[in-house]
Structure 1
Amino acid sequence: MAQVLEFKLPDLGEGLTEAEIVRWLVEVGDVVAIDQPVVEVETAKAMVEVPCPYGGVVTARFGEEGSELPVGAPLLTVAVGATDASSASPGDDGTAADEPSGGSGSGSGSGSGNVLVGYGTGAPAARRRRIRPERNIAPAAPAAPAVVSAPSRPAPVAVAVGEVNGQQGPVAVVSPLVRRLARQHEIDLRGLTGSGPEGLILRADVDSAIRQTGQATEAAAPTAAQPATRTAAEPVVAETPTVQVGAAAPATAERIPLRGVRGAVADKLSRSRSEIPDATCWVDADATELMAARAAMNAASGPSGGPKVSVLALLARICTAALARYPELNSTVDTAAREIVRLPGVHLGFAAQTERGLVVPVVRDAHTRNAESIGAEIARLTELARTGKLSPAQLTGGTFTLNNYGVFGVDGSTPIINHPEAAMLGVGRIMPKPWVHHGELAVRQVVQLSLTFDHRVCDGGTAGGFLRYVADCVEQPAVLLRTL
């Protein structure tokens, strides 16, 4: 007899208490192997696939796509210990039908335990088989046999399967926010052509459809120049001329839940502002020599000499050199013990804007890396952030953050410290500006650097010294030779 085991949402670590179901990877009736991913969830840290510790037949799923579940809540139930997986069909109450014991299926109670993502037994995942429940065509007709099929593996682009306007099938959209926005405005996702990679539907595509729908509604609404037609039986009554303000009903405010990545960012920024007495200093720097040094580095590598060194990688290397001189800014404050904790290594975070919101991947042991190594790690983490595959461990543990908001076309900002760190360096856009160079007015590549620091860990003299050293390295990259 098959045993029905319940798999609950595991503790994903890093203090996370809930997760949002983004995409189910299995359906009721599928045969799953031990440690096979069964659902994709989005936490406040990252989007991860959760493996099931049991092998058998899925008999029930709990939670719809887009809903939130707390840690410890049931995810699905699996019937294990069946002789023939095709004989296990889900009952109305979500449990499996009785099956003979002993055979090629998973043993009763077999599994890898309540594993975390990436920490299973490493057994190869079996191809899923779909088990369709029997249907009686007519009272006198024999029941149709269960059909077992092996669907192909999912495409690289995450596809949400669900019902849209009464039709079943795949929709090329991964973000639950995009799906929710489409539902709120009654937009049929199947009629949209995605502008993202491999036709992925982005929020911009849904926003465009909403605007087009609004324009069509406005064009169809009656106006003062097109009065409604009167029937012959209706009396004509003289009316006072009025000014028509608009035919549409008053718009209601849109409420967007603060959860997932956006909620985590909101909590961290609020905590930073409420706990940290921060101050900001800034300076303009001539980055002409830095840009020339970067061009020389990349030219020396040749067409096939390896990856190019980015400006962000050079700035990151400058930051690690500056933190070696001013370790006060690579620290945190233990408020309970009233102590400043200076950290031994630099784990450099860098702000990255993604479709899921602002995330801060962390380059581990940045103080031991050169510019090329830092650049390669930044590129790798950026790609993971773009695809939503960063793990919680890759988004935590930073000791100092570099924020390049110049990519948004702005010159300056006052960064908010990434709690519980002690400082953040902000970098504006690098652009030609008039600059006094060697006593003469010239056009130079100028950048504004902003440092926000925790005034508890140091005073303005230390913060100013750090920022001045960074600016000196930007203006004269040869200064770095002393620390290389």
Structure 2
Amino acid sequence: MPQVFEFKLPDLGEGLTEAEIVRWLVEVGDVVAIDQPVVEVETAKAMVEVPCPYGGVVTARFGEEGTELPVGAPLLTVAVGSEGALEPVGLADSGAGSGAGAEAVVSAVGPGAGSGGAGSGAGSGANEAEASGNVLVGYGTGAPVARRRRVRPEAMAASVAAHVTAAAAVSEAVPDTMQGPVAVVSPLVRKLARQHGLDLRQLAGSGPDGLILRADVESAIKALTERAAVPTPASAVAAVSVPESVSAVQPSVARPAASPAVERIPLRGVRGAVADKLARSRQEIPDATCWVDADATELMAARSAMNSAGGPAAGPKVSVLALLARICTAALARFPELNSTVDLEAREIVRLPEVHLGFAAQTERGLVVPVVRDAQARNAESIGAEIARLTEAARTGRLTPAELTGGTFTLNNYGVFGVDGSTPIINHPEAAMLGVGRIVPKPWVHEGELAVRQVVQLSLTFDHRVCDGGTAGGFLRYVADCVEQPAVLLRTL
């Protein structure tokens, strides 16, 4: 008889303690292979496909799409044959005993240990299920050493039959409306449907391959609202059947218009993580901000010259953000105080040798800060290529937790929102953030004459514990000088 093993939500690393189920990749009754992704979850930092360490038949799922589960909570159960997943060996490997009495070799590995382990209550010895131990690719659990034993063909056939029987029994027990994946990718669409009580399984998607889009959900919500506003035949009959004598004696009372319902949005996922980090930054860091206007005309001209030199064979174009990032790494080399963090317990300022440059990116899931590793060792072209890669991963929700953590300094280009200035909150536990406004034509005194120049406002928010205003002002002035005269930067390359 097959044994049922419970697979729990593993520890996804980076201090994450919970995750939201975005999309189930398997149904009850499906046969899954070892390390096959079974569910897509959204953490506070990234979307992750979670593989199952067992091979067998899915007998139950715990949690609907949109449910938030803590690490260690059950995800699903898998029925595994008592002899494990079987792998028949060819006759050439069977030795002299091949033929009707040929034997097959079976590998059985116990579940991983710890919070990332797949099963609890699993026995040892003959009762161990085959498992990879890698409950999440990239975050191994350290599986026990594999053991090999021999099983005769009769046992193999019995185990396979048990798998098929279990799958058929479970499939019959599950209603048809609960089977089949929901064709939704965006967590925002799922959230909108949950807030209005819509069953996504009843909607027909207008996207590719029947994908349910936000417009489909909004149309369904509008249809429900219109149906609710139209009086039913029963109510119309009731209104007509009221005697005039009765309605005449009723006082005329003006009913107040129904006030809109208060909307409550849970602070979880990316939004919750951002809220916690910003609140902690404000509580712990005594920040200050200084700013300066700079003439970016020469920087824009230098960028145009870079991108036109060499023609199409020169490679991808260098972005303004990449140039500003390269200027930041040069400025941090001169003012290393701003590439540091504060150890409160030891009461020490920790200066960091590498510059892991974060840049703020606005996505549908909220604000994220991907990190360009070892930016101090990259040129503008390399930084630009990495920024482009991370931006695309952020747009599709495929950033890994490692790509969202470990930053030492952040560059925030809020000019893309059409604003000139800001006083951003430092990305805890970093010590500073450079903000860049929009670059727009403005009147400017150039070489003693009034002219129209490309002007940008730069702002630096810094932790006043790591440096004083003189250091912060020196950093910002150097950045502004490089923006106004890119030749200043060339002297340090």
TM-score by length of 2: 0.78
Q: Report deviation, 1:205.
A: 6.4
Q: Report deviation, 1:212.
A: 7.3
Secondary structure of 2:423's aligned partner: coil
In the alignment, which of 128, 137, 141 is matched to residue 117 of structure 1?
A: 137
**Which amino acid is 2:39 matched to?**
V
- For residues 199 and 296 of structure 1, what CA distance do their matches in structure 2 show? 47
Paired residues of 1:280 and 1:450 also in contact (CA < 8 A):
yes
Aligned to 1:155: none
Matched, 1:234 2:234: no
Q: Report deviation, 1:430.
A: 1.1
Aligned to 1:174: 185
Secondary structure of 1:411's aligned partner: coil
Secondary structure of 1:303's aligned partner: helix
Aligned to 2:29: 29
In the alignment, which of 251, 261, 268 is matched to residue 259 of structure 1?
A: 268
Alignment of 1:74-473 (within 5 A): 74-81=74-81, 107=108, 108-118=128-138, 133-134=167-168, 170-187=181-198, 189=200, 206=217, 210=221, 216=226, 220=230, 230-231=240-241, 233-235=243-245, 237=248, 246=257, 249-473=258-482
Could you say if the C-alpha distance between residues 134 and 347 of structure 1 is closer, same or farther in structure 2, counting changes exceeding 3 Å?
Answer: closer
Aligned to 1:93: none
- For residues 131 and 311 of structure 1, what CA distance do their matches in structure 2 show? 62
**Which amino acid is 2:322 matched to?**
A
Q: Report deviation, 1:33.
A: 1.7
Could you say if the C-alpha distance between residues 219 and 50 of structure 1 is closer, same or farther in structure 2, counting changes exceeding 3 Å?
Answer: closer
**Which amino acid is 1:413 matched to?**
S
Q: Report deviation, 1:170.
A: 4.9
Aligned to 2:43: 43
**Greater mean alpha carbon deviation, residues 184-193 or residues 351-360:** 184-193
- Counting aligned pairs with the same residue, the percent is 79
Secondary structure of 2:309's aligned partner: helix
- For residues 442 and 211 of structure 1, what CA distance do their matches in structure 2 show? 54
How many residues end up aligned between the 2 structures?
A: 429
Q: Report deviation, 1:290.
A: 1.1
Paired residues of 1:82 and 1:105 also in contact (CA < 8 A):
no
- For residues 232 and 2 of structure 1, what CA distance do their matches in structure 2 show? 67
Could you say if the C-alpha distance between residues 30 and 242 of structure 1 is closer, same or farther in structure 2, counting changes exceeding 3 Å?
Answer: closer
- For residues 389 and 437 of structure 1, what CA distance do their matches in structure 2 show? 46
- For residues 375 and 209 of structure 1, what CA distance do their matches in structure 2 show? 42
- For residues 308 and 181 of structure 1, what CA distance do their matches in structure 2 show? 38
1:371-408 Cα deviation digits (max 9, x unpaired): 00000001111111111111111110000001111111
Paired residues of 1:287 and 1:445 also in contact (CA < 8 A):
yes
Could you say if the C-alpha distance between residues 77 and 220 of structure 1 is closer, same or farther in structure 2, counting changes exceeding 3 Å?
Answer: closer
Q: Report deviation, 1:242.
A: 7.2
**Which amino acid is 2:321 matched to?**
L
Aligned to 2:67: 67
Q: Give the greater-gyration-radius structure (CA).
A: 2
Question: Which of the pair is proportionally richer in helix?
Answer: 2
Unaligned runs of at least 5 residues, structure 2: 87-102, 109-127, 142-162, 233-237
Paired residues of 2:35 and 2:134 also in contact (CA < 8 A):
no
Secondary structure of 1:307's aligned partner: coil
Q: Report deviation, 1:416.
A: 0.3
Could you say if the C-alpha distance between residues 74 and 187 of structure 1 is closer, same or farther in structure 2, counting changes exceeding 3 Å?
Answer: closer
Could you say if the C-alpha distance between residues 482 and 207 of structure 1 is closer, same or farther in structure 2, counting changes exceeding 3 Å?
Answer: farther
TM-score by length of 1: 0.79
- For residues 290 and 362 of structure 1, what CA distance do their matches in structure 2 show? 24
Secondary structure of 1:317's aligned partner: helix
Could you say if the C-alpha distance between residues 451 and 84 of structure 1 is closer, same or farther in structure 2, counting changes exceeding 3 Å?
Answer: closer
Aligned to 2:16: 16
User: What root-mean-square deviation, in Å, do the aligned CA atoms of Structure 1 and Structure 2 show?
Assistant: 3.4
Secondary structure of 1:384's aligned partner: helix
